[in-house]
């Protein structure tokens, strides 16, 4: 399939290990954040979101951490599986607006 | 893909030709968006529409045009003025300030 993001930063992890993907956001007024997963040749899929009144949110095998002090967002994937291989990117939103800012993305490679 | 369809999956454009990419949503979201994605880069906003019969230019609108005659539909035309149209085009929809859901994308190639 087509390759999205040939020159993106790459994180390689062993199958079964935990993955941590980081994102620095730009607007201190942003109050809603989303992580997306994009597989090669496909559209981005919603993974998990977090509002600025929280600093942690957990889903199934995924956790998002928000540090507003340093404008940093991270996505943790537990027990990484081959199906997790994809490009992951964050989005920041100012609630009540149509202004969405997307990060460039990180490619996650899962090694068998 | 969350109720957003894009067609075709692949589109070939000859030099000097206008081509139209289709985007339809059944999520009843007010806002729809078009993004361009090039290898190694993030999403770049082409146009967005907050409501029927209204739309705004994004960061890279030159060489593109859109219409929003129906809430469900937001077609994108890549005109002959767009000199480097080869890219992956993504359509999205959302309610204001809420999660954007994306379609599966259209790959545009130039013959």
DSSP B29-90: -SEEEEEEE-TT--EEEEEEEEETTEEEE-TT-TTEEE--SBTTB--EEE-TT-S---EEEE
- Determine the pLDDT at residue A5: 42
Contact B100, A101 (CB under 8 A): no
The two tokens of residue A112 are 């068998």
The two tokens of residue B84 are 């480097």
Total length of chain B: 111
pLDDT over 90 percentage in chain A: 82
CB within 8 A of B5, min separation 6: which ones? B22, B23, B24, B25, B103, B104
Number of C-alpha atoms within 13 angstroms, CB side, residue A91?
26
Query: Residue B41 and residue A103: Cβ atoms within 8 Å?
Result: no
Residue A39 has what DSSP assignment?
A: -
B8 in contact with chain A, both atoms CB, cutoff 8 A: no
- Tell me the three state secondary structure of residue A18: coil
Using an 8 Å CB-CB cutoff, list chain B residues near A44.
Answer: 90, 102
pLDDT at A2 over 50: no
Residues 14-73 in B contacting A (C-alpha not used; CB under 8 Å): 31, 33, 37, 39-43, 45, 48, 50
Query: Residue B100 and residue A42: Cβ atoms within 8 Å?
Result: no
Q: Are strands B106-110 and B10-13 parallel, antiparallel or unpaired?
A: parallel
Per residue in A14-56, pLDDT (tens digit) is 999 999 999 999 999 999 999 999 999 999 999 999 999 999 9
pLDDT at A3 over 90: no
- Determine the pLDDT at residue B2: 52
Using an 8 Å CB-CB cutoff, list chain B residues near A40.
Answer: none
- Determine the pLDDT at residue B1: 46
Distance of CA A90 to CAs A44, A81, B3, B47, Å? 11, 20, 21, 20
Cα separation of B13 and B82, whole Å?
11
pLDDT over 70 percentage in chain A: 94
Using an 8 Å CB-CB cutoff, list chain B residues near A4.
Answer: 37, 39, 88
Output the average pLDDT for chain B: 93
Over its length of 111 residues, how does chain B's per-residue pLDDT go in tens digits? Answer: 459 999 999 999 998 899 999 999 999 999 999 999 998 788 999 999 999 999 999 999 999 999 999 999 999 999 998 989 999 999 999 988 889 999 999 999 988
Dihedrals phi, psi of B23, to nearest 5 degrees: -145, 125
């Amino acid at each position: 399939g087509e390759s999205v993001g040939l020159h993106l930063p790459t994180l390689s992890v062993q199958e079964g290990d935990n993955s941590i993907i980081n994102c620095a956001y730009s607007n201190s007024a942003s109050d809603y954040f989303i992580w997306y997963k994009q597989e090669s040749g496909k559209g981005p899929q919603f993974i998990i979101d977090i509002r600025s009144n929280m600093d942690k949110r957990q889903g199934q095998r995924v956790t998002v951490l928000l540090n507003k002090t340093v404008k940093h967002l991270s996505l943790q994937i537990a027990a990484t599986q081959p199906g997790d291989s994809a490009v992951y990117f964050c989005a920041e939103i100012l609630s009540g607006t149509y202004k969405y800012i997307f990060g460039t993305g990180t490619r996650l490679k899962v090694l068998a | 893909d969350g109720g957003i369809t894009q067609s075709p999956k692949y589109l070939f454009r000859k030099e000097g030709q206008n081509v139209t990419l289709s985007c339809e949503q059944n999520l009843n979201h007010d806002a729809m968006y078009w993004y361009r994605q090039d290898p190694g880069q993030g999403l770049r906003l082409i146009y967005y529409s907050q409501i029927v019969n209204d739309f705004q230019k994004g960061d890279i609108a030159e060489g593109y045009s859109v219409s929003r005659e129906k809430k469900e539909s937001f077609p994108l035309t890549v005109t002959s003025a767009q000199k480097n149209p080869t890219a992956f085009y993504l359509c999205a929809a959302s309610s204001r300030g809420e999660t954007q859901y994306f379609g599966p994308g259209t790959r545009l190639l130039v013959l």
